[in-house]
Amino acid sequence: MTTIQIFDPALCCSTGVCGVEVDQQLVGFSADVDWAKQQGAHIERFNLAQQPLAFADNTLVKTFLERSGADALPLVLVDGEVAMAGRYPSRTELARWAALAETTEKPASGCCSGSQCC
């Protein structure tokens, strides 16, 4: 099974909904990660502020930080190899790396989502 590891910059939370301003990019990415995990993907996220040892203990990540600095995060590893840096992957990229069939279908919500209760 493919392992996807995301090394986030220092964040107060991984969802993007904490603090004064909501980070829509993180909100969307968090939803994509949740979707991929529900499809069976193995994804790990590490936050520089909350899990600094995960950064220090991984030679590749440590070298990346020494060379590029924390401003170059996030760093994405797929099976231990650099797949992306400097931005969060899209749902399509997560699906490709995890060998998932991507769906563009949005989950149904609300009364009139086909339940014929309206």
pLDDT, tens only, 5-63: 999 999 876 565 565 677 788 989 999 999 999 999 999 999 999 999 999 999 999 99
* Both structure tokens of 26: 């993180």
Question: Once rounded to an integer, what is the mean pLDDT over residues 65-85?
Answer: 97
* 55-59, 79-83, 95-99, 112-116: range with lowest mean pLDDT: 112-116
What is the reported pTM?
0.80
**What pLDDT is stored for residue 101 in this prediction?**
84
**What pLDDT is stored for residue 110 in this prediction?**
42
Q: Write the class of the CATH domain 3-97.
A: alpha beta
Q: Kindly list the domain boundaries of the chain, sorted by start residue.
A: 3-97
